[in-house]
Amino acid sequence: MTEKKIRGVSRRDVLKGSAVATVGVAAGTMGFPAITRSQQMKKYLKPIVAGLNGKEMDPSTQSISLIPKILREKYDVEMQVQVHSASTLGTDIGQLDAVKTGFIDITSNATAAFAGYSDALIFMDLPYLFNDWDHALRFIKTSDLMKKQVAKMEKDYGVKVLPFVGAGGYRMLTNRRRALQSPKDVAGLKFRGSAGASPADFNLIRGWGGNPTPIPFVELYTAIQQGVVDGMYIQPIWTYNFNFHEVAKFTTLTGGVWVAQLQVMNLGTWNSMPEPIQKAFWNAAQDAADQMNVLDRKLEGEMIANLKAKGQQIYEPSAAEMKEFKDIGLAMWDDKSKTNVDPSIVKEAREFKA
């Protein structure tokens, strides 16, 4: 059988050249109380390879890095998880392909990036879907709509969907040319759209007057620097950690899309786990996601402050200006040609109580 490869490198090469992830050392990580260990620690011998797009200290990366620590300390399971951060194992789409084929075991990305594999979660990009963090987290963990659509995602994409973790809060509209105080100021500017080409993601930018272009995240800094695009619509932590403030100085807090990071595991890897380890892994992944959502929420404001300290010009629209941005986004909800979201799903999303 031919060994799976990506970028000309085999999975064996990745395993040989990688250290097991160091976990539990990041700032903001919460510990667990001491527990009594069972006499026999359960072990899962196959190393788990995670190829992630966030940097090492990003909550979306930490949520995976924490899993072996939680498994060991809380569930008496020994497992090795090798975390490759900052897209070192491929572009966003490359890593999404690789987790399906089994070259890597786990990856994660914003829900918009998965649009090319399934339309199950594209409703998550409906503009102004969530009122705030509490609304978003309650929806993700308790809504029947989310449970139904996750099952569809698993069937369409052929992976196991793990617990969601936030991906930096609300997107911000950032560009290198001028301050954007209302949608009329956006006209003619070129913005990076998600590589997965989520219809709502693209059409929100169009609705505001911009021209969206699909660009892999790992190429975005250079694309802005060289003028291929003028800016992007991404969250504060990604803007700061990837130094976009160096090439795009103007940011507007438009709100609109609260971003969830979808974490997925190769189905063969999931099915290879004995049932007790499966259950422990799921619980540990949920524990890690819960911790990192607390941290991610805190970091959203801190990253905006960090950007201001770096000289980023951050504009907060007035109530009237924000209404202009919001009205354009909400008008898309009932236009399937702009969102590709079935009206019945729109109805269910509206009915979930904030």
Structure tokens at 56: 């090492």
Name the pLDDT band for 10 (thresholds 50, 70, 90): confident
Q: Where in the chain is the domain with CATH 3.40.190.170?
A: 5-117+157-166+261-299, 170-258+301-351
Q: What's the pLDDT at 22?
A: 40
* Predicted confidence (pLDDT) at residue 292 exceeds the cutoff of 70: yes
* Predicted confidence (pLDDT) at residue 16 exceeds the cutoff of 90: no
Q: Measured between alpha carbons, how far is 21 from 265 in angstroms, rounded to an integer?
A: 17
Question: pTM here?
Answer: 0.86
- Tell me the mean pLDDT in the region 21-50: 61
- Tell me the mean pLDDT in the region 49-53: 97
Q: Measured between alpha carbons, how far is 104 from 264 in angstroms, rounded to an integer?
A: 11
Name the pLDDT band for 177 (thresholds 50, 70, 90): very high
Report whether 173 contacts 233 (CB < 8 A). yes
Name the pLDDT band for 353 (thresholds 50, 70, 90): confident
* Cα distances (angstroms) measured from residue 249 to each of 82, 194, 225, 228, 258: 36, 21, 12, 16, 22
- Hey, what CATH topology would domain 5-117+157-166+261-299 get? D-Maltodextrin-Binding Protein; domain 2 (3.40.190)
- Tell me the mean pLDDT in the region 91-120: 94
Name the pLDDT band for 218 (thresholds 50, 70, 90): confident
Secondary structure E strands in 101-203: 106-110, 159-161, 165-170, 172-175, 190-193
- Tell me the mean pLDDT in the region 175-180: 98
* Predicted confidence (pLDDT) at residue 101 exceeds the cutoff of 90: yes
Q: What's the pLDDT at 18?
A: 58
- Tell me the mean pLDDT in the region 213-239: 95
* The domain defined by 170-258+301-351 carries CATH number 3.40.630.10: no
